[in-house]
Amino acid sequence: MGERYNIHSQLEHLQSKYIGTGHADTTKFEWLTNQHRDSLASYMGHYDMLNYFAIAENESKARVRFNLMERMLQPCGPPPEKLED
């Protein structure tokens, strides 16, 4: 029983420290947005992927980086309207 509590407390610590790990109240939209932002940040961080995208789109690396940054603002479009209970 003590080990289960320890794992649960570690998971809570990770969820409070890193926003992308989610929690019980994470909506599908929030989870999807985090996944898209993580992917876009990874593309920007890996120089070879950025070069690949620049060649494939026939754009400069700076333009591709700018476009990726722009897509990070709302990667999945505007958030859905909240239902009032």
Residue 33 lies in a domain: yes
B/e letters for 15-45, b = 16+ CB within 10 Å, e = fewer, are eeeeeeeeeeeeeeebeebbeebeebeebbe
Residue 64 binned pLDDT confidence (cut-offs 50, 70, 90): very high
- Say if 66 falls within a structural domain: yes
Average pLDDT, stretch 41-52?
95
What does the pLDDT look like over 8-38, one tens digit per residue?
A: 787 777 777 777 677 777 888 888 998 999 9
Flag whether 49 is in a domain.
Answer: yes
Segment 37-57 mean pLDDT: 95
Is residue 1 scored above 60 in pLDDT?
no
Residue 43 placed within a domain:
yes
Q: Quick check: is 42 in a domain?
A: yes
Residue 44 within any structural domain of the chain: yes
Q: For residue 61, what are the domain limits?
A: 27-74
11: in domain = no
pLDDT at 85: 59
